[in-house]
């Protein structure tokens, strides 16, 4: 790739926000001021496969092709990027439809799964027929996880703070970034939903045929079970989360050899699994390092 860093385009960012006149109360002055605020747009996005409706989710209307690929892959609907033959974005006025054409073998598997489901959802859990289905057919990551340095983790965390233009405008979105082993953020995707942001990132990496084991994921949210599930499904060896993980997320990380770091802040982080794969280095120059520019 000629451009090493990829983020959402300016036109899409504009389409994912809207202006709203609001009143702000200032306690010190004891009065309200009227001004315009920028809100993150949250729109319905429907995914259909070969003309069959599958799921409707609320998302930011950015990088929707990446969302289609990432959701399809992390949910086990497709096995590889080439299983999607076409993806058309249809603006209905009420929201968006992602009309996805997939390989016939994938469609047959999807139909079998749908027959076993009692409902449809974008969360990856509701509607499954048994607790045994929770593992989602995950293949555990290899035991030989790549070594990560604490310096790389801090570098990626610092960079991600500066690479969220939608959050900078609205304060209402999450981000998922992919960093190389040196901690340089190469790709970022944003969305009002943390799962969607990660799916968009996975979809982009899939479409670009990136070696996902050559880096790690950094997310601005908590690490829920679904976030761990999607990371493992994408064969990304480590997930660094700004907020806390859940107990189920930690168990899933342990079961699937995922390096899981949570409460990752500027001064410390918690290692919930995979401490043996970390190299502990001083980070004197991390705070002063210049983040990659879009």
Tell me what pLDDT residue 239 has.
98
DSSP of 239-290:
EEESSPBPHHHHHHHHHTT-EEEES--SS--EEEE-GGGEE----TTTTTSP
C-alpha 239/C-alpha 243 separation (Å) is 12
CB-based contact 218:192 (threshold 8 Å): no
123 an active-site residue?
yes
| pLDDT tens digits along 120-170 | 444 545 445 455 556 557 899 998 888 999 999 999 999 999 999 999 999
The per-residue pLDDT string of the chain (294 residues; one tens digit each, 9 = 90 and over) reads 333 455 667 788 888 999 999 999 988 888 899 999 999 999 999 999 999 999 999 999 999 999 999 999 999 999 999 999 999 999 999 999 999 999 999 999 999 877 765 444 445 454 454 555 565 578 999 988 889 999 999 999 999 999 999 999 999 999 999 999 999 999 999 999 999 999 999 999 999 999 999 999 999 999 999 999 999 999 999 999 999 999 999 999 999 999 999 999 988 999 999 999 999 987 554 443 333 333
Same domain (yes/no): 126, 72: yes
Same domain (yes/no): 78, 118: yes
Same domain (yes/no): 163, 249: yes
Residue 239: which CATH number? 3.40.140.10
Same domain (yes/no): 123, 55: yes
Tell me what pLDDT residue 119 has.
43
Same domain (yes/no): 124, 208: no
C-alpha 151/C-alpha 77 separation (Å) is 36
Tell me what pLDDT residue 28 has.
86
Residue 88 covered by a domain: yes
C-alpha 69/C-alpha 184 separation (Å) is 24
Same domain (yes/no): 155, 54: no
| pLDDT tens digits along 30-65 | 889 999 999 999 999 999 999 999 999 999 999 999
pTM confidence score: 0.88
Tell me what pLDDT residue 112 has.
86
Residue 28 covered by a domain: no
Tell me what pLDDT residue 126 has.
47
Same domain (yes/no): 165, 272: yes
Give the neighbor-by-neighbor strand order of the sheet with 43-49.
52-59, 43-49, 96-102, 84-91
Supply the range of the domain harboring residue 268.
148-279
C-alpha 33/C-alpha 131 separation (Å) is 52
The two three-digit tokens of residue 197, written as one number: 């942001």
Tell me what pLDDT residue 1 has.
34
Catalytic residue among 32, 106, 123, 126: 123
Tell me what pLDDT residue 293 has.
32
């Amino acid at each position: 790739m000629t451009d090493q860093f990829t983020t959402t385009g300016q036109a899409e960012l504009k389409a994912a926000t809207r202006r709203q006149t609001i009143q702000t109360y200032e306690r010190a002055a004891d009065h309200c001021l009227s001004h315009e605020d920028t809100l993150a747009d949250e729109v319905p996005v429907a995914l259909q496969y070969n003309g069959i409706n599958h799921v409707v989710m609320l998302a930011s209307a950015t990088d929707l092709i990446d969302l289609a690929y990432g959701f399809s892959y992390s949910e086990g609907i497709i096995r590889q990027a080439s299983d999607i033959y076409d993806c058309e974005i249809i603006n209905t006025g009420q929201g968006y439809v992602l009309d996805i054409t997939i390989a016939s073998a994938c469609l047959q598997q999807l139909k079998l799964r749908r027959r076993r489901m009692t409902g449809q959802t974008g969360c990856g859990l509701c509607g499954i027929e048994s607790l045994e289905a929770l593992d989602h057919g995950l293949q555990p990551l290899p035991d030989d996880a790549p070594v990560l340095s604490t310096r790389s983790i801090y570098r990626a965390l610092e960079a991600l703070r500066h690479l969220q233009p939608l959050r900078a405008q609205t304060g209402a979105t999450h981000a998922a970034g992919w960093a190389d082993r040196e901690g340089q953020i190469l790709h970022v995707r944003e969305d009002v939903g943390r799962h969607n942001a990660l799916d968009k990132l996975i979809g982009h990496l899939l479409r670009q045929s990136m070696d996902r084991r050559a880096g790690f994921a950094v997310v601005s949210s908590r690490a829920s079970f679904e976030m761990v599930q999607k990371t493992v499904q994408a064969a990304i060896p480590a997930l660094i989360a700004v907020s806390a993980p859940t107990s189920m997320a930690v168990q899933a990380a342990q079961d699937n050899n995922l390096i899981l770091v949570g409460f990752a802040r500027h001064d410390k982080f918690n290692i919930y699994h995979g401490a043996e794969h970390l190299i502990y280095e001083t980070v004197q120059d991390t705070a002063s390092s210049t983040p990659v520019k879009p």
